[in-house]
């Protein structure tokens, strides 16, 4: 029932996003003037009397960071799910409900990432607040969105920078429609941020290509990296499924140990928002079979790094992941990443 309710809610939000996105894409492609708009996301009248900064709420840090980059001083952005917290298992607190009820505009991921937050998101939408599912419009891109064997959506679109560029365009377009008097402002900021993401994507592609072909295998705690693998040419294996609610059994661990030993994989990775016991079981299992397997580092999967740090931004999160993976699997990447701002990739 929870899955059905979330899919129904996502479908309603998708219809709204399609309407809002049509304006936003034009803004990003051509640039927008300050012409007035009176559609569902906002009106010229309401925008002209709006006080700034208005309150924007995002469920996860990756979305909140994009909103901050596009809205800048126009919005005070509150991210609900913080550093090291697993959104698959997260249940909204009383403070979250208050924040959503006081928000002027709300952004969430969709694709079942925030399954336990569907009720409060529905409540906020029913209260008349603009609620945007930033990944739902990506469903229009044919077969872009991945699913598992049970046909559950893979929500981890941010792991492919080109996919997250599409989400950034949705956010920029949504803000332009919500606050039409500042369309040009959001358009300019959106274009500048997309240019930054394009540079990040180019770094990811060149760095990943330096990994020896036989070592391009990424083994992690759960299936959060399939978009990354598809985009940058890695075979991906996760101990758990798309959601960390699933449990890995002894047979799953044993099968993965056999795969690692047979392929002579040098390193596996833990995640900052998922318990590392299963990954450490892989290391011990491989050791018992005479294979020297190490933990190549900790990756950010469903949450970013500490607030205020470079790794606490979307760009820094992906820079860290790419640099950590490449160096651990035998590729070439600078220790401090794309822009030299990483705190240093430590191999365990």
Give per-residue pLDDT as tens, 19-29. Answer: 433 333 333 33
pLDDT at 18 over 90: no
- Whether 335 maps to a domain, the answer reads no
User: What's the pLDDT band for 10 if we cut at 50, 70, 90?
Assistant: low
From 134, 169, 204, the end of a domain falls on: 204
Q: What is the dihedral of CA 93, 96, 101, 103, to 10 degrees?
A: 180
Q: Compute the average pLDDT of residues 122-134.
A: 88
- Whether 145 maps to a domain, the answer reads yes
- Whether 337 maps to a domain, the answer reads no
* Nearest in space to 320 (alpha carbons), one of 294, 348, 346: 346
pLDDT at position 245 is: 45
pLDDT at 164 over 90: yes
Residue 194 to residue 75: CA distance in whole angstroms: 19
* Contact call for residues 320 and 337 (beta carbons, < 8 A): yes
pLDDT at position 344 is: 60
pLDDT at 17 over 90: no
Instruction: Write out the residue range of the structural domain in which residue 251 sits.
Output: 211-328
Q: Compute the average pLDDT of residues 34-63.
A: 64
Pair 132, 226 in one domain: no
pLDDT at 43 over 60: no
* Nearest in space to 105 (alpha carbons), one of 142, 136, 74: 74
Pair 124, 236 in one domain: no
Pair 171, 269 in one domain: no
Pair 172, 38 in one domain: yes
- Whether 342 maps to a domain, the answer reads no
- Burial pattern 236-255, b for ≥16 Cβ within 10 A else e, equals bbbbbbbbbebebeeebbee
Pair 229, 186 in one domain: no
Pair 175, 39 in one domain: yes
pLDDT at 98 over 50: yes
Q: Compute the average pLDDT of residues 130-135.
A: 91
Q: Is the pLDDT higher at 175 or at 129?
A: 175
Pair 10, 119 in one domain: yes
pLDDT at position 273 is: 63
pLDDT at position 240 is: 66
Pair 150, 247 in one domain: no
pLDDT at 225 over 50: yes
User: What's the pLDDT band for 248 if we cut at 50, 70, 90?
Assistant: low
Pair 263, 119 in one domain: no
Taking the CA atoms of 313, 314, 315 and 316 in sequence, report the sign of the dihedral they define. positive
- Whether 340 maps to a domain, the answer reads no
* Nearest in space to 219 (alpha carbons), one of 190, 239, 198: 239
Pair 40, 182 in one domain: yes
pLDDT at position 120 is: 86
Q: Quick one: tokens of 82?
A: 């913080």
- Whether 238 maps to a domain, the answer reads yes
Q: Compute the average pLDDT of residues 159-167.
A: 95
Q: Is the pLDDT higher at 241 or at 274?
A: 274
pTM (two decimals): 0.83
Count of structural domains, the chain: 2
- Whether 347 maps to a domain, the answer reads no
pLDDT at position 224 is: 86
User: What's the pLDDT band for 122 if we cut at 50, 70, 90?
Assistant: confident
How far CA 310 is from CA of 27, 338, 341, in Å, comes to 29, 12, 7
- Whether 197 maps to a domain, the answer reads yes
Pair 24, 93 in one domain: yes
From 189, 204, 219, the end of a domain falls on: 204
Per residue in 286-325, pLDDT tens?
999 999 999 999 999 888 998 899 999 999 999 999 999 9
Pair 35, 147 in one domain: yes
* Contact call for residues 268 and 329 (beta carbons, < 8 A): no
pLDDT at position 123 is: 83
pLDDT at 140 over 50: yes
Q: Quick one: tokens of 173?
A: 């377009």
Residue 123 to residue 206: CA distance in whole angstroms: 45
From 204, 226, 250, the end of a domain falls on: 204
Instruction: Provide the CATH number for the domain around residue 299.
Output: 3.40.50.1980
* Nearest in space to 111 (alpha carbons), one of 71, 65, 68, 170: 170
């Amino acid at each position: 029932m929870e899955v059905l309710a979330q899919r129904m809610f996502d479908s309603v939000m998708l219809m709204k996003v399609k309407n809002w996105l049509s304006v936003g894409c034009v803004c990003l492609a051509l640039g927008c003037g300050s012409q007035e708009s009176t559609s569902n996301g906002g009106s010229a009248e309401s925008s002209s009397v709006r006080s700034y900064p208005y309150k924007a709420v995002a469920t996860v840090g990756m979305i909140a960071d994009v909103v901050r980059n596009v809205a800048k001083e126009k919005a005070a952005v509150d991210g609900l799910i913080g550093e090291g917290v697993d959104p698959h298992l997260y249940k909204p607190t009383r403070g979250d409900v208050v924040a959503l009820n006081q928000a002027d505009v709300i952004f969430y991921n969709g694709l079942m990432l925030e399954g336990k937050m569907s009720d409060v998101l529905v409540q906020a939408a029913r209260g008349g607040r603009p609620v945007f599912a930033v990944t739902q419009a990506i469903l229009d891109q044919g077969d872009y969105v991945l699913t598992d064997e049970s046909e559950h959506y893979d929500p981890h679109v941010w792991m492919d920078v080109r996919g997250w560029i599409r989400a950034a365009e949705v956010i920029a377009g949504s803000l332009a429609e919500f606050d039409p008097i500042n369309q040009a402002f959001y358009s300019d900021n959106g274009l500048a941020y997309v240019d930054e993401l394009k540079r990040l994507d180019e770094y990811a592609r060149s760095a990943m290509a330096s990994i020896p072909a036989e070592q391009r295998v990424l083994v992690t705690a759960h299936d959060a990296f399939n978009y990354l693998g598809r985009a940058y040419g890695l075979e991906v294996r996760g101990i758990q499924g798309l959601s960390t609610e699933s449990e890995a059994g002894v047979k799953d661990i044993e099968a993965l140990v056999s795969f690692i030993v047979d392929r002579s994989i040098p390193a596996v990775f833990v995640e900052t928002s998922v318990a590392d016991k299963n990954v450490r079981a892989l290391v011990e299992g491989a050791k018992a079979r005479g294979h020297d397997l190490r933990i190549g580092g900790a990756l950010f999967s469903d949450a970013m790094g500490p607030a205020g740090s470079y790794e606490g931004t979307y760009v820094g999160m992906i820079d860290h992941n790419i640099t950590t993976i490449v160096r651990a699997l035998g590729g070439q990447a600078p220790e401090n990443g794309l822009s030299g701002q990483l705190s240093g990739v430590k191999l365990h």
